[in-house]
Amino acid sequence: MFFYMPVQVYAEKDCVRNHAKELCSFGKKALIVTGKSSAAKNGSLDDIRNALDAGGIGNAHFNEVEENPSVETVMRARDIGLKEGCDFVIGIGGGSPMDAAKAIAMMIRQKDADASVLFDSEASPATVPVVLVPTTCGTGSEVTGISVLTRHDLHTKMAIPHKIFAALALVDGKYMKGMPAHIFAETTMDAFAHLTESRINAKASDMSRMCVDAGLRLWLRSKDVLLGKREADETDFLNMLNASTMAGMAIAHTGTSLPHGLSYALTYNTRMPHGKACGYFLPGYLAEASKEDRDYVISTAGFSSVDDLALYYDMTCRKERVEEDILALSVDDLLHNPAKMASAPFAVDERMLRRIAGLS
């Protein structure tokens, strides 16, 4: 059994301000990596800049990370970081900016390398330091070594083989105030997918299950908000953000499984948001799991059955009809990913994948 979690995590209100000294300890100039506007709107960008300014640390801002960031975006940001003389990276946002920040940190450190090293398992994984500030409650990227990038050359998404952990994660639920309801639903579905896929996983251990159990119980505390039964407060946002962080700790040890593997081609071909795409396949995955695992996940998350989960997904994530040819691409994509196929704790074949995808 193995448990490794090298990230220093602070989860509290105003943690950027409270731990500004540590934030400023990683270099002399930061490259701040964000999406186009959410970090500016939710106050996280201002908090980071104020902390850096107070500590006399310079910064440059790259705000062009798209949803499902591409290799090309990583390289463009790397070039700006090098031009600006940045010696550490701060990623703010959901999984896309945080995943991108890790890859950018690697490419800044390896300034003479081209993009091919990102997917070269023999290449050096050395990076400049990374600090991550999550502002959605989905990926848990702040505590994983995972960076998933879009490969336009292959028409899919792929995790790079290098494990890049942040040095520091600053987790504050206040940044989720004002988040649109559909984004809250989709990102919390991603966290639920991580918890489910880590529990029902060939690499699951007592340690990873510990994180899953804590994460599911935190997730359940604020499930009523997603069902529209009450308004969210700061405690709900922090519950879901901490659930996401616990889920990240779990998948840092097990990896994700079949729903994530099926989601990549779906996201690439339909632009369906990541958490929503993963959730699309969760009921089918649970239906194939052992009764013990299925009953544990369903009951701990407050569902009565797999059908109840499917109804919850339909209600909160607004299930879309997906063409069968797209679902077939997802199945074919996963059939060519032996590592992801092997992640399930049961035998997997094409017929099973088609059932999970809802294909006849």
Give residue 2's pLDDT. Answer: 81
Give residue 102's pLDDT. Answer: 98
Same domain, 12 and 161: yes
Same domain, 38 and 145: yes
Confidence of residue 146 (pLDDT cuts 50, 70, 90): very high
In-domain check, residue 183: yes
Of 145 and 2, more confident: 145
In-domain check, residue 3: no
Same domain, 158 and 87: yes
Nearest to 252 by CA among 337, 298, 195: 195
In-domain check, residue 56: yes
In-domain check, residue 1: no
Structurally, how many domains does the chain consist of? 2
Q: Which residues contact 278 (CB under 8 A, 6 or more apart)?
A: 189, 190, 193, 259, 260, 263
Q: Where in the sequence is the domain holding 236, given as residue range(s)? A: 179-356
pLDDT of 129 above 80:
yes
pLDDT of 197 above 80:
yes
CATH of the domain at 98: 3.40.50.1970
Give residue 51's pLDDT. Answer: 98
Same domain, 133 and 275: no
Same domain, 201 and 161: no
Confidence of residue 292 (pLDDT cuts 50, 70, 90): very high
In-domain check, residue 329: yes
In this structure, what DSSP letter does residue 70 have? B
pLDDT of 184 above 80:
yes
Q: What is the mean pLDDT of residues 305-309?
A: 98
In-domain check, residue 49: yes
Of 174, 193, 212, the residue that ends a domain is 174
Query: Could you give the CA distance from residue 158 to residue 142 in angstroms, rounded to a whole number?
Result: 18
Give residue 196's pLDDT. Answer: 98
Give residue 1's pLDDT. Answer: 78
pLDDT tens across 205-238, in order? Answer: 999 999 999 999 999 999 999 999 999 998 999 9
Of 133, 157, 174, the residue that ends a domain is 174
Q: What is the mean pLDDT of residues 42-55?
A: 98
* Three-class secondary structure of residue 329 per DSSP: helix
Confidence of residue 145 (pLDDT cuts 50, 70, 90): very high
Same domain, 135 and 263: no
pLDDT tens across 314-351, in order? Answer: 999 999 999 999 999 999 999 999 999 999 999 999 99
Of 174, 198, 228, the residue that ends a domain is 174
Q: What is the mean pLDDT of residues 52-59?
A: 98
Q: What is the mean pLDDT of residues 270-296?
A: 97
Q: What is the mean pLDDT of residues 176-197?
A: 95
In-domain check, residue 306: yes
Q: Which residues contact 150 (CB under 8 A, 6 or more apart)?
A: 68, 69, 70, 71, 156, 157, 268
CATH of the domain at 195: 1.20.1090.10
In-domain check, residue 119: yes
pLDDT of 4 above 80:
yes
Query: Could you give the CA distance from residue 2 to residue 347 in angstroms, rounded to a whole number?
Result: 24
- Write out the H or E segment, with its range, that includes residue 107: helix 95-109
Same domain, 17 and 112: yes
Give residue 106's pLDDT. Answer: 98
Torsion of Cα atoms, 66 then 69 then 75 then 77, to 10°:
40
Give residue 360's pLDDT. Answer: 75
Same domain, 14 and 142: yes
Based on the number of CB atoms within 10 Å of its own CB, is 130 exposed (0-12), middle (13-18) or buried (19 or more)? buried
Of all residues in the chain, the percent with pLDDT exceeding 70 is 100
Query: Could you give the CA distance from residue 79 to residue 158 in angstroms, rounded to a whole number?
Result: 22
Q: What is the mean pLDDT of residues 171-180?
A: 93
Confidence of residue 301 (pLDDT cuts 50, 70, 90): very high
Same domain, 74 and 183: no
Q: What is the mean pLDDT of residues 246-275?
A: 96
Give residue 46's pLDDT. Answer: 98
Same domain, 193 and 244: yes
Query: Could you give the CA distance from residue 238 to residue 35 in angstroms, rounded to a whole number?
Result: 22
Same domain, 25 and 99: yes
**Following DSSP, what letter does each residue of 242-277 receive, concatenated?**
HHHHHHHHHHHHH---HHHHHHHHHHHHH---HHHH
Tell me the sheet residues that pair with 184: none
Q: What is the mean pLDDT of residues 169-182?
A: 94
Q: What is the mean pLDDT of residues 198-210?
A: 97
Give residue 314's pLDDT. Answer: 97
Neighbours of 36 (CB within 10 A): 11
Q: What is the mean pLDDT of the chain?
A: 96
Same domain, 202 and 73: no
Of 138 and 300, more confident: 300
